[in-house]
Amino acid sequence: MSVITYRQALRDTLRAEMVRDENVLVMGEEIGVFEGSYKITEGLLKEFGPRRVKDTPIAEEGFVGAAIGAAMLGLRPVVELMTINFSLIAIDQIINHAAKIYGMFGGQTSVPMVIRTPGGGGQQLGATHSQNIELFYSFIPGLKVMAPSTPAEASSMLRAAIRDDDPVLFLENLGLYNSKGEVPEGYAEPSNDTVATIGRAGVTREGSDITLIGYSRMAMVATQVAEKLAEEDISVEVVDLRSLRPLDRQTFVDSVKKTGAAVICEDDWLTYGIGAEIAASIQEGAFDYLDAPVRRVAMAEVPMPYAKPLETAALPSVESISTAIKETLSAVGKRVG
């Protein structure tokens, strides 16, 4: 085991997959000469050359669509969209084409491609560069949407995404790139065949008082919340969704059946957000087990402000999530720290 950053896990895994499979190429804005806006593709151009590391024009619809077409002919493009906000330019290609081609042609051709893209607030990037709009893609059958929260997940899930025959939207979060975690030995070996199971959530910390559900950066924050509350003798079980579509309902429903209460933390907006789907699923799958209403802690429903205090206030935090957990537990008379 070694401890590396989320960024390093992505970079090493991407490289390993390119070494392993000649059909894997990377495409995107500034990924070659510039080595990536967030340096995930650092060193790849030098090692693999411009045939396999393609700098594209700033024309998301054109190059995302080109990656889809290339995938139809059997290549395995890994596209980097500089931020998920720019995916809106390519949304027709992603939703109308990548997601539909397998189905509308009766299974004759698939689209084995990955769109890697960071998102999220907290970097003072303002309204159009601080969004988590994965909901749009999680809504669409035919797409797979993955949201790893740790370096180990980032590695095994990226490997799975590249080897999968369907289009995968692979969410990264700007707040995760420098976070560190343990990865298994050999994670960066091209011969490594350990891949994550797509569509499988994980109970990343066991607990008995309440279930806290998150994904991507919020799964990391959820772990911090659980650690903090443990000091106050509150036992929080953490579920990391990992995959937003397909959604592993069973894992979090089973957890809620065990603990009897749930809080969902999400980096996106509340109304119609991912948390709404989770809450509805808990209601359908574990209503009789609930001791309290399911609580959601989400981003404030505003276009993200630039000013730091406003931005900080708009995002869920360890404190706001902890408060929601304590309120939920006290509502049902459970012991609170």
Q: How far is the CB of 6 from another protein (least distance, A)?
A: 24
Q: How far is the CB of 19 from another protein (least distance, A)?
A: 17
Query: Rounded to an integer, what distance in angstroms lies between the CA atom of residue 224 and that of residue 228?
Result: 6
Stretch that binds another protein, among 7-15, 95-103, 125-133, 208-216 (CB under 8 A): 95-103
User: Judged by CB under 8 A, does residue 202 bind another protein?
Assistant: no
Query: Rounded to an integer, what distance in angstroms lies between the CA atom of residue 96 and that of residue 254?
Result: 35
Query: Rounded to an integer, what distance in angstroms lies between the CA atom of residue 98 and that of residue 105?
Result: 12
Query: How many C-beta atoms surround the C-beta of residue 250 within 10 A?
Result: 12
Query: Rounded to an integer, what distance in angstroms lies between the CA atom of residue 190 and that of residue 13?
Result: 8
Look at residue 254 and give its three-state secondary structure: helix
Q: Are the C-beta atoms of 159 and 196 separated by less than 8 Å? A: yes
Active site (annotated) includes residue 327: no
User: Judged by CB under 8 A, does residue 249 bind another protein?
Assistant: yes
Q: How far is the CB of 259 from another protein (least distance, A)?
A: 17
> What's the length of the chain?
337
Among 74, 184, 190, 303, binds another protein (CB under 8 A): 74
What are the φ and ψ backbone dihedral angles of 32, each rounded to 5 degrees? -95, -90
Q: How far is the CB of 306 from another protein (least distance, A)?
A: 29
Residues 131-170 that bind another protein (CB under 8 A): 141-142, 144, 164-166
User: Judged by CB under 8 A, does residue 228 bind another protein?
Assistant: no
Query: Rounded to an integer, what distance in angstroms lies between the CA atom of residue 324 and that of residue 109?
Result: 47
Among 5, 235, 281, 323, binds another protein (CB under 8 A): 281
Q: Which is nearer to another protein, 66 or 300 (CB)?
A: 66
Query: Rounded to an integer, what distance in angstroms lies between the CA atom of residue 47 and that of residue 270?
Result: 44
Q: Which two tokens stand for residue 208?
A: 């008995």
Among 3, 46, 61, 227, binds another protein (CB under 8 A): 61
Active site (annotated) includes residue 97: no
Active site residues: 60, 129
Task: Kindly list the residues in this chain that would bind another protein in the complex (CB under 8 A).
Answer: 25, 51, 54, 56-57, 59, 61-75, 77, 92-93, 96-97, 101-112, 141-142, 144, 164-166, 198-200, 246-250, 253, 281, 284-285
